[in-house]
Structure 1
Amino acid sequence: MEVKHINIFFLYFFIEPTRLQLLINVKNQGGDVMQENITANVSEDTVTLEFLRLDGVYVSQLVDFTNEVEAMKVIIPGEEELGQSGYQTLCFLSHAAQADFIAPDAMAKLRQKNPGTVRVAEEDKGWRQSTATAWAGRATRLLSPAATRHCAPAKERVYLRAADLTRWAPRPGLDPSSPSSAVTPFPEHALITDTSDGKPAVPPCLNESDNTKECICHLELCVNWYPCGLKYCKGKPQGGLSYRCGIKTCRRCHRHQYYVRRRDACYSHT
């Protein structure tokens, strides 16, 4: 069979790697170049993508395909002018849309043709809005061992949406309405978006000047390049069979909103 190469990657199917790490030079929307580190672990059935933004925010996205869990870890440095010291680690759990990331076994077979090339995603998937409704608590351990390790530095700042709990396979301890639930819902008033006067019960942190007051924190981040699908090429006319010959790449941005008990707990770099 005649193999037609693609501009970015080859897919090798005659080897069986169990782990792969790729370093990708990626251009963001502002024209700046950052480096992404992508690791595929076939034995754990996970893919991890990580990068450091130019403002010092570290982002690490893990997808656990077996348990259908996506864990987005964010480490945010404090801003001295706002009285914030050190850094803050957050983790957001969601149900993994498996079609949005190629599987670890396919990812582990990728090889770069030109490692120094600066990449730009082929498709922009726009914004994904995620409003957390609970602290994950012990639920992380029930959902995914890989996500548990990934989110461990965030400690109690691991968030999820009640809507996603209904999408995962039922298991003891995940019912947020149960007194013994591993999940801790936000206060009821923090989940109200509309009131009689048209103002939310809990204001956005951007509109709250008192550091002791509760508010809704807002965080935006973009993954500027990731493998989101496989490409297929046609063989010679007499064969007529298609074969995997490359990958499709995408860009996705995320808006995370979550409740904090104090304004000074919101380390938000947009």
Structure 2
Amino acid sequence: MEKITVKVIILYMFFQQTNLQLLINVKNQGGDVMQEAIVANVSEDTVTLEFLRSDGVFVSQLVDFTNEVEAMKVIIPGEEELGQTGYQTLCFLTHAAQADFIAPDAMAKLRQKNPGTVRVAEEDKGWRQTTATAWAGRATRLLSPAAARHCAPAGDKVYLRTSDLSRWAPRPGVEQSYTAEVTPFPANALSETSDGFPEVGVCVAETNATKACICHLEVCVNWYPCGLKYCKGKPQGGLSYRCGIKTCRRCYRYHFYVKRRESCITYI
């Protein structure tokens, strides 16, 4: 990894954390401890979770509760051994399953009694696989202004599933524009040959650097507040009250089309 790339990512994290709400020490499944920054923006109804992986990959996940949009942004340093220089920024939009995160107003009230404690999630929610079918284009701004700002560094490398477009709540004057603003992948990108094999192969098996292929990316969020805990009150009252949070771990596997294998920094 180039030294300049490391500095860019660290500076990026620093400026992103100027309004952070919580810093959490989290242990991943490999036993490494990393620090997550969680920001709850009540006025925008968003939650952002960010961390820098031990391999230099920076992950920033935004959930827009009002517009039901989840935006996963990933900054990936190039591998010098593979002749990859600089870094690549990608962003994936999916319909937000709001039950996965607690609401921003509840998140903003969270405090740590012991900030130095290393956290481990209570529940592992496993893998969620997403196969993108289009470049999001201007639809990002229509779907969620917050996600559009979040994904701006990715440029045209913002991906989504066209099947998700119908799941987002329609808004007057906008609902007819979602599909028109995205750019679908080429017809052969996700189709199969007559013998059942994908017409466009995976980048990990492609040896021609100029050939199109399907790239993949894996991201694990090892700790996040995924629900509220309620305890029963004293027998006299009998009412339940909020007494804590439930924490979860979830991994994401994204598949997306690239026009040239050399554009897939993550094909290893």
Instruction: State whether structure 2 residue 202 is matched by structure 1 residue 204.
Output: yes
Q: Which residue of 2 aligns with 1:232?
A: 230
Instruction: State whether structure 2 residue 115 is matched by structure 1 residue 115.
Output: yes
For residues 1-270 of structure 1, what are the structure 2 equivalents within 5 Å?
A: 21-170=21-170, 171-175=175-179, 181-192=180-191, 194-268=192-266
Q: Which runs of 4+ in 1 moved over 2 A?
A: none
Query: Which structure's residues are more often helix, by fraction?
Result: 2
Letter in 1 for 2:62: L
Taking the aligned partners of 2:201 and 2:190, their CA distance within structure 1 comes to: 11
Higher relative contact order (CA 8 A, sep 6+): 1
Query: What secondary structure, in the 3-state scheme, does the structure 1 residue paired with 2:167 have?
Result: coil
Q: Which residue of 2 aligns with 1:12?
A: none
What whole-Å deviation, never above 9, does each CA across 1:195-243 have from its counterpart, x for those lacking one? 2233210000000011100000011110000000000011111111000
Taking the aligned partners of 1:237 and 1:42, their CA distance within structure 2 comes to: 35
What whole-Å deviation, never above 9, does each CA across 1:76-113 have from its counterpart, x for those lacking one? 00011211110000000000001110000000000111
Specify every segment of 5 or more residues in structure 2 that has no aligned partner in the other structure, as ranges.
1-18
What whole-Å deviation, never above 9, does each CA across 1:138-195 have from its counterpart, x for those lacking one? 00010001001000000000000011101012313112xxxxx110000010021x32
Taking the aligned partners of 1:241 and 1:269, their CA distance within structure 2 comes to: 53
Conserved 8 A contact 1:20-1:41: no
Identity %, equivalent residues: 80
Taking the aligned partners of 1:240 and 1:152, their CA distance within structure 2 comes to: 50
Query: What secondary structure, in the 3-state scheme, does the structure 2 residue paired with 1:25 have?
Result: strand
Taking the aligned partners of 2:264 and 2:82, their CA distance within structure 1 comes to: 10
Q: TM-score, normalised to structure 2's length?
A: 0.90
Taking the aligned partners of 1:79 and 1:111, their CA distance within structure 2 comes to: 38
Taking the aligned partners of 1:42 and 1:63, their CA distance within structure 2 comes to: 12
Specify every segment of 5 or more residues in structure 1 that has no aligned partner in the other structure, as ranges.
1-18, 176-180
